[in-house]
Every structure is written in C-alpha cells, then in structure tokens.
Amino acid sequence: MAVQMKGKHILSIHDLTGEEVRQILDTAKIMKMKKLTGAPFQPLQGKTLGMIFQKSSTRTRISFEVAMWQLGGYALFLNPADLQLKRGETIADTARVLSRYLDGLMIRTHAHEEVTELAAHSTVPVINGLTDLFHPCQALADLLTIEEKKGSPAGLNLVYLGDGNNMAHSLMYGGAKVGMNVTICSPPGYLPDKDIIETARVEAAATGALINIEHEPAGAVKKADIIYTDVWTSMGREGEGAGRLETFAPYQVNSALLEKAPKEALVMHCLPAHRGEEITDAVIDGPQSIVFDQAENRLHLQKAILALVI
C-alpha cells in the first residue's frame, strides 16, 4: 500500500488526503475486479464489524454486511433499541466497550457530533455510514463510478440539483480532492453550510477545481458532465415535505432539463429516489442514467475501506 490507513477513522472526505482518496478508489477497483473474476480475497477472516443504525437503511446496511462477508469477516447489526444507549449509557462508554469486542465500527445516525464522539473514544476505526452533515462512503462510490464512465474526474463538471444537504457537502469535498468542478444548484434558503462551502473552496484551490453556487437549473447544466440529484426532503425532515415540493419543483431532473445539457451528460442519484419528484421515470430509467451502477459500487468501495482500515 502506498499509504498506511490501518486504524484510520472515515468520518468525512475532508479528513482524507488526496493520496488516501486515490488509494481507496484504486483498491475499490481491485475489489470489483476480484469479485467479477471470482478470485478469492478474504483479508478480514476472524474480524468483526459492528454496525449501529439510528436511521433506516437499504444500501448502507446490505452493502456493508455483504462486504464484510465477502472479505471473510462478520458484520454485527446493532439496533439502538437493543443497546444501552437507549437507557442513557454515554456514547463514550459505548465506544470504549465496543472497541474491546470489535475490529471496526460503522454508524449511521442523525447528528454528526455522535460520530465524532464515538471516534474520539474508540480504539478501533469508525466509519461514517451517514449523518445529517456528511455521506462520505456514498460520495467516494460516486467518484469511483464517474471514473469508470468518464475517466479521470479532474476537470469534469458535476452539477448537483436540489437541497444543500449531506450529499452536497460530501460531493464538494470529494470534487475538491480529485480536481472535479462541483456546482451546487439550490433554491435560496436551501444552500449548503457556508463553512463547508468555504473549506471545500480552499481544498479545491490546491487541485484546480472550482466550487460554484447557482440557483438557476437550466443555466447550471449547460456544461455538465454529470447531473446529480437527491431527495428533496431528507430523513428527519418529513414534516417539511409539502412546502419543499413547491420550492424544489423547478429543480426536477427531467427530459426537458436534459435537453439543455450536453448529450454526453450522465445522471446520478444516491437513492432512494422519490420518482416523480426530484427525478422522473424517463430519466432514472433512461440511457443517460448510471444510478444503479453507482448503487452497486457502494459494495466495492466499502470493501476497499474495510480492507484498508481494519
């Protein structure tokens, strides 16, 4: 390995060096090749990953569970309702105890502070499976998919349409690390966190990437290589759903919008999709969609992370 990552926490792409991002992507490609050829590769025999889920999950749970099994290890699903966390045990004490039993921890939760506190008191690597602030594993899998479809991401233009949420944050950080221009196109009042925008711009300057903020979808996609969208109402904000539908309606990724983009532009969505809201059936099931390729790559990317840090 070019860079030693054993024991490293994966909390945000911001915390990774460009070399570490490169190593994760290259390792994921090796993992995918081994899976396709049937070559056995089980470096995590006898290792156990604990998975704490404060939020429901399809792709994160299944991909991590399958990843550990394919690498020769075991994934243990930890429901918060079954842990002493529900009865008031601190995150710090939980981290200290679980570190004595497990070789790694993955957590999917609401507050990013819970992940950072878990990592601060854990002696085994902690992986952020999703928080309200970041979704690093998804964005890294997206970079893997973009490389497969477009080659080097350096100089490409990714346009994200919708809520300035955890995906917007992670895509900005990811683009900054690999030299990919990222435009966040959101309604006023729904922009990404200002501090994260500025931090991403500082990181982007080192790789020649640009981080842009726009509000008008038709203009934003004119030079897009990748058009990316996500649900308009994130988990935990379902009460805002009705108002958001009206606000975000102009940001829908549909056939009319694709006509304003280059013909070679590809469409991505981190899933789950609310079809007919942020994206139409014609687009997500159409020839420019690589949505299900990026979903598959969650498995290979997470295998890479697990093999590198555990």
In CATH, what number is assigned to the domain containing residue 35?
Answer: 3.40.50.1370
Pairwise CA distance, residues 306 & 49, whole Å: 9
Which residues make beta-bridge pairs with 23?
none
pLDDT in tens, 83-137: 877 578 999 999 999 999 999 999 999 999 999 999 999 999 999 999 999 999 9
pLDDT in tens, 187-217: 999 999 999 999 999 999 999 999 999 999 9
Residues 269 and 302 in one domain: no
- pLDDT over 70 percentage in the chain: 97
Average pLDDT taken over every residue of the chain: 95
Residues 221 and 124 in one domain: no
Structural domain includes residue 8: no
Q: State residue 86's pLDDT score.
A: 58
Which amino acid, 144? L
Structural domain includes residue 2: no
Structural domain includes residue 24: yes
Q: Is residue 49 within a helix (H) or strand (E), and if so which, with residue range?
A: strand 48-53
In sequence order, which residues have a C-beta less than 8 Å from that of residue 198 and are 6 or more positions away? Answer: none
Residues 105 and 224 in one domain: no
Handedness of CA 199, 205, 206, 211 (dihedral sign): positive
Handedness of CA 18, 66, 147, 271 (dihedral sign): negative
Structural domain includes residue 6: no
Report, as an integer, the average pLDDT of 65-78. 97
Handedness of CA 126, 12, 143, 77 (dihedral sign): positive
pTM of the model: 0.96
Report, as an integer, the average pLDDT of 36-61. 94
Active site positions, annotated: 108, 135, 138, 230, 270, 298
Rounded to the nearest 10 degrees, the angle between the axes of helix 112-121 and helix 91-101 is 50
Structural domain includes residue 1: no
Q: Where are the beta strands (DSSP E) in 134-265?
A: 157-161, 181-185, 211-214, 226-229
Pairwise CA distance, residues 175 & 139, whole Å: 9
Q: Which residue has the higher pLDDT, 243 or 25?
A: 25
Rounded to a whole number of angstroms, the distance between the first and last alpha carbons of the chain is 14
Residues 61 and 123 in one domain: yes
Residues 26 and 40 in one domain: yes
Pairwise CA distance, residues 174 & 16, whole Å: 10
Considering just the CA atoms, what is the radius of gyration of the chain in Å?
A: 19
Domain that holds residue 148: 137-295
Lowest-confidence pick of 116-125, 146-155, 231-240: 231-240
Q: Is residue 1's pLDDT more than 80?
A: no
**Cβ density class 106-117: b for 16+ within 10 Å, e for less:** bbbbbebebbbb
Q: State residue 220's pLDDT score.
A: 98
Which amino acid, 49? L
Q: How far is CA 87 from the centre of its chain?
A: 31
Which of 295, 293, 267 shows the shortest CA–CA distance to 281? 267
Report, as an integer, the average pLDDT of 222-235. 93
Q: Is residue 25's pLDDT more than 90?
A: yes
Which of 38, 29, 72 shows the shortest CA–CA distance to 301? 29
Residues 178 and 197 in one domain: yes
Structural domain includes residue 4: no
Q: Is residue 241's pLDDT more than 70?
A: no
What the block records as the tokens of 153 is 């991401």
Structural domain includes residue 5: no
How many domains does the chain contain in total?
Answer: 2
Q: Which residue has the higher pLDDT, 138 or 235?
A: 138
Residues 302 and 277 in one domain: no
Structural domain includes residue 115: yes
Residues 179 and 126 in one domain: no
With beta carbons less than 8 A apart as the criterion, state whether 49 and 310 touch: yes
| DSSP secondary structure code for residue 130 in this structure | E
Residues 101 and 161 in one domain: no
With beta carbons less than 8 A apart as the criterion, state whether 267 and 289 touch: yes
Which residues make beta-bridge pairs with 128?
107
Residues 303 and 285 in one domain: no
Residues 61 and 159 in one domain: no
Residue 115: C-alpha distances to residues 34, 75, 192 (Å): 31, 19, 20
Return phi, psi of residue 74, to 5°. -135, 135
Residues 120 and 265 in one domain: no
Q: State residue 40's pLDDT score.
A: 86
What the block records as the tokens of 269 is 């969505």
Q: Is residue 240's pLDDT more than 90?
A: no
Which residues make beta-bridge pairs with 226?
158, 266
